[in-house]
């Protein structure tokens, strides 16, 4: 246990009318996140990289202590500020028995609601602005991405107007695809070239980030996991139990001078359309309109962030192919990277328990 804290089970969130609910800063909630990894390695050398919550954000995210238990002779917490990713890295030499590690982290979070009225002194440094408008391997900012962004914001001058126009475009032009593996890849240019604007959160929210960056707006993906039910009362927007192994979710943010980082989540709007009863919803339905309005400028504190890194290089990996992002545990056995979405490749479970009294 961490610090001897009593662990309270997550209570089901009451059903709340969307018309009467919107996220707003209130009390902090603390969660204990436990990731258990088991690698049946057949006597071969192995490695594992387990992401941990590390994104510190004023007003809504406070990472705490990370501890681990393992039979690995070598394990360390890596806080890679250059890449924007933090993880526990463990290595096992050749030998008998499974390679096993359990990583336990504490993090505090709460609801966000950003005032969309300019008036703060929020600005990005030139270095940060360059970083958050730069292309990544799967999110180019030229070619078809640039052309699409320019078409969306044509005739608009203000940063907030452009940010909202891109949000509305992504909400209206995309669809959630339940057949997409995991959270998707976020291959933005391919989506636009193929005319297939479907996928899951890492696809739809990365599309937002790519279009925003191409339009000159600093933007970033935040990779994390849902840890509690949604106060919206929608099952699709929260975790349904303490077992959150498949509850990964990517959110997005755009930076507006004079306002700061603004949360945006067009992917969750599309998730409500597809998954909420009676599963025949459209953008015109009231419950969808309400969540669409709420998720530009606000976000719920039932989710924790690991980091915002793209093109992640895992230290020590024999397969040095960069990951598009780090949201799932990663592993190698005998130098071969395992498929994090295939349970026969290696086994991991993630649980979340609320510590808040």
Q: What does the domain layout of the chain look like in residue ranges?
A: 18-109+319-354, 112-306
Please write the tens of the pLDDT for every residue from 275-313: 999 999 999 999 899 999 999 999 999 999 999 999 999
Please write the tens of the pLDDT for every residue from 6-26: 223 333 333 344 444 566 667
Q: By C-alpha distance, which of 86, 65, 47 is closest to 332?
A: 47
Residue 22's pLDDT is: 63
Residue 109's pLDDT is: 95
Residue 121's pLDDT is: 83
| CATH class of the region 18-109+319-354 | mainly beta
Residue 351's pLDDT is: 98
The structure tokens 């009863």 sit at: 277
**Can you list the alpha helix ranges (DSSP code H) found in 174-303?**
188-194, 201-214, 266-275, 286-294
* Spatial CB neighbours of 324, under 8 Å, sequence gap ≥ 6: 136, 137, 138, 185, 186, 202, 310, 311, 312
Give the domain 112-306 fold: C8orf32 fold (3.10.620)
- Written as tens digits, the pLDDT of the chain (357 aa) is 233 332 233 333 333 444 445 666 678 999 999 999 999 999 999 999 999 999 999 889 999 999 999 999 999 999 988 888 999 999 999 999 999 999 999 999 999 999 998 777 889 999 999 999 999 999 999 999 999 999 999 999 999 999 999 999 999 999 999 999 999 999 999 999 999 999 999 999 999 999 999 999 999 999 999 999 998 778 899 999 999 999 999 999 999 999 999 999 999 999 999 999 999 999 999 989 999 999 999 999 999 999 999 999 999 999 999 999 999 999 999 999 999 998 777 899 999 999 975
* Spatial CB neighbours of 59, under 8 Å, sequence gap ≥ 6: 25, 110, 112
Residue 233's pLDDT is: 75
Share of the chain above pLDDT 90, in %: 83
The structure tokens 């007003």 sit at: 59
Q: Which two tokens stand for residue 35?
A: 């990731």
Residues 257, 159 contacting (CB under 8 angstroms):
yes
Helix, strand, coil percentages, rounded to 5, for the chain? 20, 30, 50
Name beta bridge partners: 250. 223
Exposure class string for 257-269: b at 16+ Cβ within 10 A, else e: bebbbbbbbbbbb
Residue 14's pLDDT is: 37
Residue 201's pLDDT is: 98
pTM equals: 0.92
Residue 231's pLDDT is: 83
In this chain, the answer to whether the domains covering 18-109+319-354 and 112-306 adopt an identical fold is no
């Amino acid at each position: 246990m961490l610090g001897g804290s009593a662990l309270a089970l997550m209570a089901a969130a009451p059903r709340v009318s969307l018309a009467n609910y919107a996220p707003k800063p209130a009390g902090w909630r603390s969660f204990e996140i436990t990731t258990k990894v088991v690698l049946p390695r057949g006597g071969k050398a192995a490695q594992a990289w387990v992401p941990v919550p590390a994104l510190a954000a004023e007003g809504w995210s406070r990472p705490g202590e990370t501890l681990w238990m393992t039979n690995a002779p070598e394990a360390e917490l890596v806080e890679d500020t250059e890449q924007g990713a933090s993880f526990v890295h463990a290595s096992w030499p050749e030998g008998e028995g499974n390679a096993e590690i359990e990583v336990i982290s504490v993090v505090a979070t709460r609801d966000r609601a950003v005032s969309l009225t300019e008036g703060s002194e929020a600005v990005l440094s030139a270095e940060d602005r360059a970083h958050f408008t730069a292309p990544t391997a799967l999110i180019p900012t030229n070619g078809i991405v640039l052309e699409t962004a320019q078409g969306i914001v044509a005739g608009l001058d203000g940063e907030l107007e452009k940010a909202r126009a891109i949000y509305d475009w992504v909400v209206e032009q995309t669809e959630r695809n339940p057949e997409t593996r995991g959270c998707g890849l976020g291959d933005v240019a391919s989506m636009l070239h193929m005319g297939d604007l479907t996928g899951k959160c890492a696809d739809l929210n990365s599309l937002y980030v790519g279009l925003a960056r191409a339009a000159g707006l600093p933007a970033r993906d935040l990779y994390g996991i849902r840890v509690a039910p949604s106060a919206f009362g929608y099952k699709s927007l929260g975790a349904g139990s303490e077992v959150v192994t498949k509850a990964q979710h990517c959110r997005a943010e755009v930076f507006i001078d004079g306002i700061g980082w603004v949360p945006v989540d067009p992917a969750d709007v599309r998730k409500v359309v597809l998954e909420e009863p009676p599963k025949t919803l459209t953008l015109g339905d009231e419950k969808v309109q309400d969540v669409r309005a709420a998720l530009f400028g606000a976000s719920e504190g039932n989710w924790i962030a690991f980091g915002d890194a793209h093109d992640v290089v895992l230290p020590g990996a024999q397969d040095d192919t960069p990951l598009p992002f780090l949201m799932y545990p990663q592993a190698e056995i005998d130098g071969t990277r395992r498929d994090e979405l295939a349970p026969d490749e290696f086994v991991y479970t993630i649980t979340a328990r609320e510590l808040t009294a």
